[in-house]
Structure 1
Amino acid sequence: MQLTGSEIIIECLKEQGVDTVFGYPGGTILNVYDALYKHSDEITHILTSHEQGAAHAADGYARATGKVGVCMATSGPGATNLVTGIATAYMDSVPVVAITANVAVNLLGKDTFQEVDIAGITMPITKHNYIVKDVTKLADTIRAAFIIAKSGRPGPVLVDVTKDVTANTTEYTAKTPESVLPVTDRIREEDLETAVSMIQESKKPFLYVGGGAVISEAWQELREFAHKADCPVTDSLMGKGAFDGNDPLYTGMLGMHGTKTSNYGVTQCDLLITVGARFSDRVTGNAKKFAEHAKVLQLDVDPAEINKNVRTHASVIGDVKVVLQKLNQRLEQQDHSQWLAEINGMKEKFPLHYDDSRLTGPYVIEKIYEVTGGDALICTEVGQHQMWAAQFYKYSRPRTLLTSGGLGTMGYGLGASLGAKMGRKDKTVFNIAGDGCFRMNMNEIATATRYNIPVIQVVLNNHVLGMVRQWQTLFYGQRYSATVLNDAVDFVKLAEAMGAKAYRVTKKEELEPVLKEAMELNIPVVIDCQIDCDDKVFPMVAPGAAISECFAEEDLNKKDFG
């Protein structure tokens, strides 16, 4: 049948099973929005307050559901406002398809009103991107975008469509979406045998879990593997929930704000088994001193990650769910009881702790865990609150922590929480923010109230840029340059002005009833929690130091930070 390009875009979205799109209209994309209007009973469109919010919402939808998230924007500033969200998805391997419209083909390259080369701009931060100038190629391009976004190591794909293509007509034939199969062609028997031998020969193995284990849905295989290998387990920020945070083998997060047990244990281990992790600098600290006594066995779908940041002694390339299945078939039950006893001794000696005499960030996180029974989706912004959310909430299932790990995007969480709630309406969704992050995209509270998306926004309000201030305190002689936010902004009044229910919490005893009421209301809620400006995240590894040099607050007097 003959359809316009705009109608083809909508039909292709329906083919792919897309039920929700996040976006913001404008002149060049009007034809697409007109077609979308006619299918509003099949595809829900969420009009965000800003295009960046749309990109983050698509990202949050994808992370929470495992499906491809979709966002749309018009040309020029509409498209460029998606860039930060696209880069966030790229760094964390999130499958997103961003559809933008551009000026007509005959106006390209002429500095036309709201013209920008968005394909060129996003080339370094997309898995692939397209500019469609021929309507006959549109359907196949969109189909390819979805396949690329979700295959192998996922990532964002941008499809830029010129305005004349959205109006032109061509023959359209519906197609069933191609199945995307796990990547297994590089899994070699000799690599599996080497991996099993390394595990069997190891006396002190340690399992390090990254976001790839979440993406590949490998949590069941991972838990079987960990118990077969009989080894302690740590994770990255992105790997949270792939391994149960309540499991006795779990030692907490690794790296700059990881536990002493994980950092010391990885430093002392003789084999580091890495599943779907890329050895970020925030994990390794001084890479030359990272796991320096260990052989490194890396399991990853992306061969480019092997030997990129840390020298690898052996690797198995392929979808980690399939790799773990094959290893579990070959690996006999191991016994590392002596090593585990040593690790458990560290866990007892170096527990996470905080001042429980007053309202603090860790207390708020623990209370959220308690009142939700650990069964919520937790989104975060970036900073101290993000680290507290990683440390003090126990994630027992994958896709329950949504956070910007690689890019570290302030302003990510609120948009992501809207997308997560749209994708998982059965879940309670919290967004944890600092006041600095909340200011970035707090206008998305208006989006939440417009559609009654019942997210609970918790602001850990210390009236400063907390993580930057922490660094200024420790490493910059307490020179608080441009990090004090002690002004007259009232988040409760702002939230109420945007139509949300809002609370201010200043004491510990006020928090639990507010959290319970917020969950019962089932409407957008903002909770402004007033905490001290000098609360810090510990443990910590100083920049450039080895993770074995991690320190806690009680160690400060023993350190010279320069």
Structure 2
Amino acid sequence: MSVRVSDHVLRRLRAWGVEHVFGYPGSGLRGLLAAWGRAGDEPRFVQARHEETSALQAVGYAKFSGRLGVCAAASGPGAVHLLNGLYDAKLDHVPVLAIVGTTDRATEGTADGSTDATAVSGGLRREVDLHALFADVASEFMATVTAPEQLPDVLDRAIRTAYARRCPTVVVIPADIQDLVYAAPEDEFTTSVPGPDHDDPAAVTSDVPSDESLRQAAEILNSGDKVAILAGQGAAGARAEVERIAELLGAGVAKALLGKDVLSDELPYVTGAIGPLGTRPSYELMRDCDTLLTIGSSFPYAQYLPESGRARGVRIDVDPRAVDPQPVDPQPVGMRPLYEVNLVGDAKETLRRLIPLVRGAERGREWFDTVCANVRRWDEVSERRARLSADPINPEYVARVLDPLLPPDAIVTCDSGSVTTWYARCLSMRPGMRASLSGTLATMGCAVPYAIGAKFAHPDRPAIALVGDGAMQMNGLAELITAAKYRDRWQDPRLVVAVWNNRDLNHGTWELRATEGAPSFLPSQQLPDVPYARFARSLGLTAVRVERPEDVAAAWRTALEADGPALVEFLTDPAVPPLPPHTTWERLEATAASMLAGDADRGAVIRQGLKAKVQEFLPGREQGEDTHG
């Protein structure tokens, strides 16, 4: 029996170790779908409810497995729907391959058989100009297959590029090409086993900094008295080395949101998240340090980093495009860039070479002790805030109660919204746990698809998705159907979806209040009160609706002990403020004054804001207004 192009595509994916393809079917994929049937569903086709969520599932799979995520869609509408997930992959530096099937090539095609973009965009049903559509998101590699002989090279280059550049790539295969008989190219080399080893994507990168740049970096770090470390997702896999250099330097370690799981929060010098959703000790760490070592992070908020001229910096990043160019001429202290030395290389290997050059024996303990004391103080403040009364449930309390209940091998995903604040501040990562979110694009609707992708990456581990009601209405409810569909495919069937139901697009509401000085605009911000638990129950899932704070812990336990996917719906108070770590009394007063002009929830908002801020000044744990026992 002759091998078709579609058969060869799946064969090549299997050769690269691809085990799952997340997609939504359509006529543009008809040849590939038939090939999947002939191949016994290998690699497994995972049917999402929408092409956008299939791409996000591929991103989640790639983030938690370290391997290539693959998604598939058909024709113009499906391709358009992929964009959000592919941009999420691009901005968070995740290897994802999108396979796009199109209708048969137009007869108006070019001489070499490829489809003319003007013909595609000029009236063909269900088609758009895909090269224009993907030009930015797949700028590293995008190609259309116009002849069977192109396929080994095109597909291999797309996968190698995705791994090497940590980016999305796109391969377009017209439906009539999929059905052609595959003709192997004459050059046998192109049909050899793929490489580098697909089980070790890091093998594509072996750059290490020069000895001279390492020496310069060590000089800066050794000269500092108050050293801070910022760890991002690029520090993943270098946990032992980050711990070692932090202890040598007597440094505190703050974590970017994408680096939340690179280091255990049980370490006394780990200050937690940094940025507008971060912790007070992380803010103080950056404010007061005189030296900064950034490892694997392109953290964008300059206002949360040391002021220019007040600290010297060293940055480690595997991507040379992520680092600042070195200044050609010496610059005054007040004008020089924060990062004086940029080390381009893998974090683990670079730190292994840098650590022997770092002096730690003679370093004093005062700075280190201050950092640790700030962390302990913040933990007390956070617990008091979580226990403040609210109507009906304090959203911070929901996350705080989950923290000690998390299984040691949990995979946690978080959506974008006010829930991100409670994820960032209240959940402590411990060894063995994993966590992620849409860190750069910050797209809503990522948590449930991420969790589904995580379950296929690690079917023997529990996954927990933290979601606001806005994101749940956007796509989370639909993807509960996907979770119910595949529950029997996972050795550990637990996938817990937690919904913060506050009937408000809360993050945007707080931005209106704090940034624009405007009251909440109810026509845009108020959400319908959807019965999430009832819907989950209709799918045969375990479901609990929680309306009282005293029931929060029991609900979490019920979900975490369920024998399949579960949903917990918490009715939370939209008036509880996600206060930035640097909030001052002046800013609180300005926000309160602006809301007196007509915010529908102004009384509760002002009361909750004042109560939360006061907790920073109370001397002991017992002073909090504890209503939850």
SS at match of 2:230: strand
Shift of 1:176: 4.1
CA contact (8 A) 1:500 1:524 kept: yes
SS at match of 1:477: coil
State the secondary structure of the residue aligned to 2:440.
coil
Alignment correspondent of 1:209: 231
Deviation string 1:127-178 (CA, Å, 9 cap, x unpaired) is 4222221211112221222211122x41111111122221222334452432
User: What residue number does 2:162 align with?
Assistant: 149
Change (3 A) 1:521 1:347: closer
**Aligned to 1:64, what secondary structure does the other structure show?**
helix
SS at match of 2:222: helix
The 1:551/1:369 distance shift into structure 2, 3 A limit, reads same
Contact 2:323 2:342 in 1 (8 A): yes
- Contact preservation (8 Å) 1:268, 1:294: no
Q: Given the alignment of the two structures, is residue 40 of structure 1 paired with residue 14 of structure 2, yes or no?
A: no
Asked whether the equivalents of residues 271 and 294 of structure 1 are also in contact (C-alpha less than 8 Å), the reply is yes
Flag the 1:292–1:396 CA change in 2: closer, same or farther, 3 A: farther
Instruction: Give 1:509 shift.
Output: 2.2
The reply to whether residue 537 of structure 1 matches residue 610 of structure 2 is no
Of 398, 404, 413, the match for 1:379: 413
Alignment of 1:399-418 (within 5 A): 400-418=434-452
Provide the secondary structure at the position in 1 that maps to 2:106: helix
Amino acid aligned to 1:343: V
Structure 2 vs 1, CA of residues 76 and 368 (structure 1 numbering), >3 Å: closer, same or farther?
A: same
Q: CA deviation at 1:67?
A: 0.9
Paired with 2:103 and 2:337, the residues of 1 have a C-alpha distance of 45
Question: 2:495 is matched by which residue type in structure 1?
Answer: V
1:551 to 574, 583, 593: 583
Distance in 2, matches of 1:325 and 1:304, equals 22
- CA shift, 1:323, in A, is 0.9
Which portions of structure 1, spanning 4 or more consecutive aligned residues, are displaced by more than 6 angstroms?
A: 552-555, 558-562
Q: Does 1:303 align with 2:325?
A: no
Code of the residue aligned with 1:177 in structure 2: it is G
8 Å Cα contact 2:92/2:440 also seen in 1:
yes
1:125 aligns with 2:137: yes
Report Cα offsets for 1:83-136 as digits up to 9, x if no partner: 000001111111111111123333533232221222321222234222221211
Q: Deviations over 1:489-533 (max 9, x none)?
A: 221222233443321011122122222222222312111100001
1:422 aligns with 2:450: no
> How many angstroms does 1:213 deviate by?
1.3
How far is the alpha carbon of 1:429 from its aligned partner? 0.4
Task: Give the residue type in structure 2 aligned to 1:369.
Answer: D
Q: 1:286 to 1:333 in 2, by over 3 A?
A: closer
Which residue among 209, 224, 233 is the counterpart of 1:187? 209
Bigger radius of gyration among the two: 2
Distance in 2 (alpha carbons) for counterparts of 1:133 and 1:118: 14
Is 1:277 matched up with 2:297? yes
Determine whether 1:315 maps to 2:335: no
Matched-pair identity in %: 25
Three-state SS of the structure 2 residue aligned to 1:78 is: helix
Classify 1:11/1:539 alpha carbon distance in 2 versus 1 (closer, same or farther; 3 Å).
Answer: same
> 1:307 Cα deviation (Å)?
2.3
Deviation at 1:37, TM superposition (A): 1.9
Given that 2:208 and 2:349 are in contact with CA atoms closer than 8 Å, whether structure 1 keeps it comes out as: no
Cα drift, residue 414 of structure 1: 0.8
Aligned partners of 2:307, 2:178: CA distance in 1, in Å? 52
Alignment partner, residue 347 of structure 1:
375
Cα separation, partners in 2 of 1:42 and 1:162, compared to 1, 3 Å: closer
Number of the residue aligned with 1:257: 277
Q: Which residue of 2 aligns with 1:522?
A: 563
Distance 1:346 1:249 in 2: 9
1:252 & 1:506 partners in 2: Cα distance? Answer: 30
Q: Which amino acid aligns with 2:456?
A: M
| CA–CA separation in structure 2 for the residues paired with 1:423 and 1:160 | 25
Match of 1:467 in 2: 507
Point out the more displaced range, 343-352 or 228-237: 343-352
1:444 aligns with 2:479: yes
How far off is 1:8 after superposition? 1.1
Closer, same or farther: CA 422–496 of 1 in aligned 2, 3 Å: same
Does the CA-based 8 Å contact 1:15-1:174 persist in structure 2? Answer: no
Match for 1:161 among 173, 176, 201? 173
Cα gap change, 1:41 to 1:27, in 2 (>3 Å) = closer
Distance in 2 of aligned mates of 1:248 and 1:499? 43
Distance in structure 1 (CA, Å) of the matches to 2:585 and 2:573: 16
Higher relative contact order (CA 8 A, sep 6+): 1
Displacement of 1:211 after TM fit? Answer: 1.6
Secondary structure of the corresponding residue to residue 313 of structure 1: strand
**8 A contact 2:505–2:527 mirrored in 1:** no
The one of 490, 494, 497 aligned to 1:457: 497
Retained in 1: the 8 A contact 2:496–2:567? Answer: yes
In the alignment, which residue of structure 2 is the partner of 1:197? 219
- Shift of residue 460 of structure 1? 0.6
Matches of 2:125 and 2:284 in 1, distance apart? 57
| Residue range with higher mean Cα deviation, 245-254 or 500-509 | 500-509
| 165 and 397 in structure 1: CA distance in 2 versus 1, 3 angstrom threshold | farther
Change (3 A) 1:84 1:389: same
Q: What's the CA shift string for 1:51-110, capped at 9, x where partnerless?
A: 111011111111111111111111110111110000011111111111111233335332
The alignment's TM-score, normalised by the length of structure 1, stands at: 0.91
Matched, 1:7 2:4: no
Equivalent AA in structure 2 for residue 501 of structure 1 = T
Give the Cα–Cα distance (whole angstroms) in 2 for the partners of residues 375 and 554 of structure 1.
43
Aligned residue in 2 for 1:62: 62
CA gap of 1:486–1:250, structure 2 versus 1, over 3 A, is: same
Partner residue of 1:325? 352
Q: Size of the alignment, in residue pairs?
A: 547
Q: Which runs of 5+ in 2 are unaligned?
A: 108-114, 185-190, 326-335, 488-492, 595-629
Once the two structures are TM-superposed, the CA of residue 350 in structure 1 deviates from its matched residue by: 4.3
Q: Contact 2:394/2:576 (CA < 8 Å) preserved in 1?
A: yes
- The residue matched to 1:257 in structure 2 has which SS? coil
Residue 369 of structure 1: aligned partner: 403
CA spacing shift, 1:400–1:246, aligned 2, 3 Å: same
Deviation at 1:329, TM superposition (A): 3.6
TM-score (norm 2): 0.82
The alignment's C-alpha RMSD in Å is 2.4
Deviations 1:267-291 (A, max 9, x none): 221111001111213xx2377x746
2:469 counterpart of 1:435: yes
Using a 3 Å threshold, how does the CA distance of structure 1 residues 532 and 163 change in structure 2: closer, same or farther?
Answer: same
Which letter maps to 2:467?
A: A
CA contact (8 A) 1:374 1:395 kept: no
Measure the CA separation in 1 of the matches of 2:26 and 2:219: 59
Cα deviation for residue 35 of structure 1 reads 0.7
Superposition pairs of residues 68-83 of structure 1, within 5 angstroms: 68-83=68-83
Tell me, in whole angstroms, the C-alpha distance in 1 between the residues paired with 2:29 and 2:57.
19
